[in-house]
Amino acid sequence: MKFRVSEEQYRQCIESLQELIRIPSVKAAPTEGNPFGEQIGKALDFFLGHAKQLGFTVRDIDRYVGIVEMGEGDEELGILVHIDVVPEGDHSAWRFAPYSAEIHDGSIWGRGTLDDKGPAMAVLYAMKLLADQNIQWNKRVRLIIGTDEESSWQDIAYYKQKEKPPTIAFTPDGCFPVTNSEKGILTLGYEKQREQASIASIVKEVQAGERHNVTPGVAKAVIQLSHESSIEAFKSTDQISIELQSDGRILITAKGVAGRTSDPNVETNAIHILLTYLKQCLPKNDGFREVIDFYKTYVQDSNGAGHDCQLSDEISGELTLAPCVLEWNSFRVNLVSNIRYPSSLQLEEILDRVRGKLASSSFTWSVVEHKAPIFVPKDDPFITKLMHVYTSYFNRQDEPLSISGGTYARAFPNTVAFGALIPGKPLNAHEANEHVELKVVQDWIQIYANAIYALVAKIE
């Protein structure tokens, strides 16, 4: 290993990461100068301000993307990170408060430690480690700090309007050794206007889920009892709580475990828990049963069978489907699912199957968002160089990986995910109790310093 971080810089990195985690940078309504909300703006300001203190040239592109630069040359190595995070979910499920950045048991805890504030700060200190050396450069290095990765990638779309793409790039937002394949990401919405429904329902409101890349840990339904229904039909269970409200309505709360839509677990998804419970309790002629039936027929199976999409390939494995949002009110019902499909398949092949299968449903459906899959052959020179850095650092002989998650690697050509998840370490991004071992942060600084050096330095 050529580069090792000093204890002083390592300590500074951890302290800076704690400060960054303490900013709850979840996407919110825009404010003046903050297109994705005030907290994301604060996180961007902190990151760029700290990079400037470390001696780097920094700027932001109209508050959509931050840039930290070093090196020289006509070509550019881009490193894409992001400082926005998914919502923390149920605070009671966390061992430590999600934005406290507590250090316990040799780990730092909090939303964003793994995805992606920890790797982002580690790359910044890897750049600092190199900047302090007498290095001749073949390329410029540009750390690109995104602010909308967990949502709609408006940040990257804006960046593309203003800046040229990097020559090559990696993002520390996947898995080691190198992620050379990412499944396609297809988000579908299913909707029906309530005035189309001919049968009334005692279910007045349902709300579950906030984001399309997170399966909800909590789902809630409000019930208005009628002469045909009784409160005795609604009993608490291990996963269901019942609360009688002052207006006589019943609040039903289903509690599961929030997770990643890229790795769905039907049994812990709060949408599934709530709908399964309501199926047992609602009157047989209740209008909400149409929603339950649609879910059971088309959406419940995580292998996509309800969409005629039981598909797989040798590179990236099986297609998965996960419901992530459910809304029901006086006007409409809206359900959203997130599909991850094999990287060798085409979007139209998936959509043709969906059209055929859902043609008999009374719900309308549409594509909410799509990110195409990526695949870079493992013998590509860029991949082999990153693999050499990895094998040299960890003394392991692994193969490039395919993942179900989506990273900024889709943003530009010649871009892959390189880390940050180390083999054998817990994948807890988007979950309660997200945390990273302190030793892992040290490894990140050092391996990214070695990778940047291998890719951009003039090596005799």
Residues 49/43, Cβ–Cβ less than 8 Å? no
Residue 340 sits in the same domain as residue 397: no
Whether residue 34 is contained in a domain is answered as yes
Q: Which of 337, 371, 405 is the last residue of a domain?
A: 371
Residues 201 and 298 in one domain: yes
Is residue 80 helix, strand or coil? Answer: strand
* Active-site annotation holder among 76, 115, 116, 149: 149
Residue 91 belongs to some domain of the structure = yes
Q: Is 113 within the bounds of a domain? A: yes
The 8-class DSSP code of residue 46 comes to H
Print burial letters for 79-109: b (CB count within 10 Å at least 16), e (below 16).
bbbbbbbbbbbbeebbeeebbebbeeeebbb
Structural domain tally of the chain? 2
Torsion of CA 25, 30, 34, 38, to 10 degrees: -40
The verdict on residue 133 lying in a domain is yes
Among candidate residues 76, 84, 173, 431, the one labeled active-site is 84
CATH of the domain at 40: 3.40.630.10
CA distance 367 to 205: 25
Tokens 């399966």 belong to 215
Angstrom CA distances, 303 to 3, 47, 286, 298, 339, stand at 44, 40, 29, 11, 9
pLDDT at site 198: 60
Is 149 catalytic? The answer is yes
- Residue 72 is assigned to a structural domain of this protein: yes
CATH number of the domain that 308 lies in?
3.30.70.360
The half-sphere exposure of 166 on its side-chain side, counting CA atoms within 13 A, is 28
The tokens for 200 are 């009334």
Last residue of a domain, one of 371, 399, 422: 371
> What is the rounded distance in angstroms from the CA atom of residue 188 to the CA atom of residue 269?
17
> Is 1 within the bounds of a domain?
no
Domain-located, residue 11: yes
Q: Are residues 158 and 206 in the same domain?
A: no
For 85-144, what is each residue's pLDDT tens digit?
A: 999 988 999 999 999 999 999 999 999 999 999 999 999 999 999 999 989 999 999 999
For residue 51, how many other CB atoms are within 10 A of its CB? 24
Instruction: Indicate if 169 and 243 belong to the same structural domain.
Output: no
19 is catalytic: no
Of 351, 371, 391, at which residue does a domain stop?
A: 371
* Farthest CA pair distance, the chain: 85
DSSP secondary structure code for residue 339 in this structure: E
Same domain for 351 and 212: yes
pLDDT for 341 equals 97
Q: Which among 171, 145, 142, 144 has a CA at the least distance from the CA of 69?
A: 142
The answer on 141 and 46 residing in a single domain is: yes
- Shared domain for 354 and 332, answered yes or no, is yes
Same domain membership, residue 365 and residue 217: yes
Q: At what angle do helices 7-21 and 438-456 cross, to 10 degrees?
A: 110
Does residue 149 sit in the same domain as residue 225? no
CA 43 – CA 36 distance, rounded (Å): 11
Number of residues written out for the chain: 460
353 by DSSP, 3-state: which? Answer: helix
pLDDT at site 229: 64
pTM score: 0.76
What is the pLDDT at residue 195?
67
What contacts 341, CB < 8 A, 6 or more positions away? Answer: 183, 184, 186, 309, 311, 319, 350, 373
Regions of the chain short of the pLDDT cut 70: 1, 195-198, 227-230, 460
Burial class (CB in 10 A: 0-12, 13-18, 19+), 359: exposed
Work out the angle at residue 113's Cα, subtended by the Cα atoms of residues 209 and 83, and round it to the nearest 5 degrees: 75
270 and 327 belong to one structural domain = yes
Do 344 and 380 lie in one domain? The reply is no
The answer to whether the CB of 292 falls within 8 A of the CB of 279 is yes
- Domain residues for the domain of 330 are 185-371
Q: Find out whether 90 and 432 touch, Cβ atoms under 8 Å.
A: yes
> Could you tell me whether strands 107-109 and 103-104 are parallel, antiparallel, or unpaired per DSSP bridges?
antiparallel
Domain presence at residue 2: no
Mind listing the pLDDT tens digit for each residue in 184-202? 999 999 999 876 556 789 9
Packing angle of the helix pair 117-131, 38-53 (nearest 10 deg): 20
Element (H, E) at 387: helix 381-394
Locate tokens 């040239």: which residue?
A: 57
Q: Name the residue among 147, 161, 129 with its Cα closest to residue 47.
A: 147
Q: Are residues 273 and 332 in the same domain?
A: yes
